[in-house]
Amino acid sequence: MTDVLVAGIKVDMKNELKKFAHFRREMVEKQIVSRGVTDPLVLEAMSKVPRHLFVSEALGDSAYGDFPLPIGEGQTISQPYIIAEMTQSLELKGHERVLEIGTGSGYQAAVLARIVYKVYTIERNNSLFLQTRKLFDTLKYHNIVTRYSDGTQGWKQESPFDAIIVTAGGQQIPAPLIEQLAIGGRLVMPVGGNFSQELIRLEKTEDGIKTTNLGGCRFVKLIGQNGWDE
Ligand code: SAH
């Protein structure tokens, strides 16, 4: 018996997971490998995670397209390539504890969960938080821990983190996140204005902070104490 409820609908999970395998492979080859992402752990994870189950059923067959998609509550799931690039920039090996700010649909957290030891993810929107937490249970992502709060303050009790990924854009990197990053850790976040940002990668070393700009991007707003006002 593999029937489970996804968004209130009874589905045969075995079939659901097998669905679109061809689209997933094509997505990885044509959108991700072709643009220079090479990390085998990232490519493997993205060829496995059933992206169509993280969007509404009506969008299921667009889930593997080269574009972002709406996930409700005015929020979006990023284009697959951006997710691949951000994940690769964290240089993960497998043993890490990673913090994500902006759980949203849960897709990014699921990609991370296939690569690392444990994912901590924070969402400020209650309806997305509840919906996605249920989905993680259904899909048996047992190494994802969720929290409903303002992610711009980080998750002090569980810090330090080996890597931090922020999937919403702010004017600057929230100070608590830099504090909660381990020495040797990497953080990636869209930084800039309301409508467009630059993807910033930060590395925390014994000698201080090193940042690099990975290029332009467009994310929804990071809202909170150390982000935009509501
Ligand atoms: N990583 C998500 C992307 C979701 S869009 C995915 O894979 O689908 C960004 C998300 O960040 C939205 O769900 C939004 O509600 C959330 N968000 C914005 N500000 C936040 C904050 N301060 N703390 C936690 N989540 C926040």
pLDDT of residue 1: 46
Question: Which ligand 1 atom is the nearest neighbour of the CA of 224?
Answer: 22
Residue 11 lies in a domain: no
Cα-based angle 162, 33, 188 (whole degrees, multiple of 5): 25
Our answer on whether the CB atom of 150 is closer than 6 Å to any ligand 1 atom is yes
Our answer on whether the CB atom of 71 is closer than 6 Å to any ligand 1 atom is yes
What separation in Å is there between the alpha carbon of 190 and the centre of ligand 1?
12
pLDDT of residue 7: 61
What separation in Å is there between the alpha carbon of 2 and the centre of ligand 1?
31
Pocket test residue of 191, 221, 222 for ligand 1, highest count of atoms within 8 A of CB: 222
Handedness of CA 24, 27, 32, 38 (dihedral sign): positive
Pocket test residue of 67, 75, 83 for ligand 1, highest count of atoms within 8 A of CB: 75
Residue 13 lies in a domain: no
Can 34 be counted among the known catalytic residues?
A: no
Residue 3 lies in a domain: no
pTM for the structure as a whole = 0.96
What separation in Å is there between the alpha carbon of 202 and the centre of ligand 1?
20
Residue 230 lies in a domain: no
pLDDT of residue 9: 65
Number of structural domains the chain divides into: 1
> 106 with 85: CB under 8 angstroms?
no
pLDDT of residue 15: 84
Residue 54 lies in a domain: no
**Dihedrals phi, psi of 28, to nearest 5 degrees:** -65, -45
Residue 183 lies in a domain: yes
The CATH number of the domain holding residue 146 is: 3.40.50.150
Q: Which of the 8 DSSP states describes residue 18?
A: H
Q: Which of the 8 DSSP states describes residue 66?
A: S
Pick the residue whose CA is nearest to atom 26 on ligand 1: 102
- Give the domain extent around 167: 66-217
What separation in Å is there between the alpha carbon of 26 and the centre of ligand 1?
27
Residue 101 lies in a domain: yes
| Sequence-ordered list of residues with C-beta below 8 angstroms from that of 214, at least 6 positions apart, any chain | 85, 89, 188, 198, 199, 200, 201
Q: Which residue has the tokens 């397209």?
A: 65
| pLDDT tens sequence for the chain (230 residues) | 467 766 666 678 888 888 899 999 999 999 999 999 999 999 999 999 999 999 998 998 899 999 999 999 999 999 999 999 999 999 999 999 999 999 999 999 999 999 999 999 999 999 999 999 999 999 999 999 999 999 999 999 999 999 999 999 999 999 999 999 999 999 999 999 999 999 999 999 999 999 999 999 999 999 999 999 98
Residue 24 lies in a domain: no
Our answer on whether the CB atom of 122 is closer than 6 Å to any ligand 1 atom is yes
